[in-house]
Amino acid sequence: MPRFDKTYWEDHWDPAATGRGHRLAAHPALGTETSSLPIGTALDAGCGSGAEATWLAGRGWRVTGADISRNALDTAATRANAAGLSDRIEWVETDLSRWQPGRAWDLVTTSYAHPDSGQLAFYERIASWVAPGGTLLIIAHAAGHRHHDGDHPADAVATLSDITRLLLAPEWRIESRYENTRTLRPGHRVVSLRDVIVRARRRA
């Protein structure tokens, strides 16, 4: 089982080796799940190459994009600059399993982030950074389904019930929870992805 540490993610986002980066689009659930939210501050936790962070900034959010990989953040900054959105995004290189941001955001979102600490511990940690009245949006790989790179290790997937159980405390109201299958066409392939999506609001 791989360790999802800094070395892993620097290799994963090395543009010379993988070509990953600008071609990645924001997850469609981000638009669906945030369309009714008031614009404010947002944290993209494990922002990768910046697709979601840039999308949010383009719709008026003040965004912090945080990731452990400098390669990912360099690509993200290039993307934001090309879109004319550099002034709306702060990029932070950090290990999110240890980071102490000292602040909260109106929206905390994460899409497919795989920290070395494990998925559920990570989700519980970032949930603590949601401001009162704010929103947590989790988009994860569904357990038991293949991804376009093959099967993910057990520590890189989540179930709907496990994520929901994290948010049963009185301070949270779960507003959206479901699994969804979407189809991508990378190159000449057709790939189906199964996602877990949970949106919850922290009571003010």
78 within some domain: yes
Q: What is the pLDDT of residue 16?
A: 67
Give domain status of residue 24, yes or no: no
Q: 87-122, pLDDT tens digit by residue?
A: 999 999 999 999 999 999 999 999 998 776 788 999
Q: Which two tokens stand for residue 21?
A: 């980066």
Q: CA end-to-end span of the chain, whole Å?
A: 40
Q: What is the pTM of this model?
A: 0.88
What does the radius of gyration of the chain's CA atoms come to, in whole angstroms? 16
- Tell me: the pLDDT tens digits for 179-200? 999 887 766 777 788 999 999 9
| Domains in the chain, number | 1
Left, alpha or beta for 80 (phi > 0: left; psi -120 to 50: alpha)? alpha
Q: Which residues on neighbouring strands pair with residue 182, listed in sequence order?
A: 193
Does residue 51 lie in a domain region? yes
Does residue 40 lie in a domain region?
Answer: yes
Pairing of strands 191-202, 105-111: unpaired
Question: Is 1 contained in some domain?
Answer: no
Residue 46 lies in a domain: yes
Range of the domain at 169: 6-17+30-202
DSSP per-residue codes, the chain: ----SHHHHHHHT-HHHH--STTPPPPHHHHHHHTTSPP-EEEEET-TTSHHHHHHHHTT-EEEEEES-HHHHHHHHHHHHHTT-GGGEEEEE--TTT----S-EEEEEEES---TT-HHHHHHHHHTTEEEEEEEEEEEEBTTS-BTTBPPPGGG-B-HHHHHHHT-STTEEEEEEEEEEEEE--TT--EEEEEEEEEEEE--
- Looking up residue 60, the CATH number of its domain turns out to be 3.40.50.150
Q: Which amino acid is at 184?
A: L
Within a domain: 23: no
Task: Please report, in tens digits, the pLDDT of each residue of the chain (204 residues total).
Answer: 457 777 776 777 777 665 555 567 899 999 999 999 999 999 999 999 999 999 999 999 999 999 999 999 999 999 999 999 999 999 999 999 999 999 999 999 999 987 767 889 999 999 999 999 999 999 998 875 554 444 444 555 789 999 999 999 999 999 999 999 988 776 677 778 899 999 999 999
Judge whether 34 lies within some domain. yes
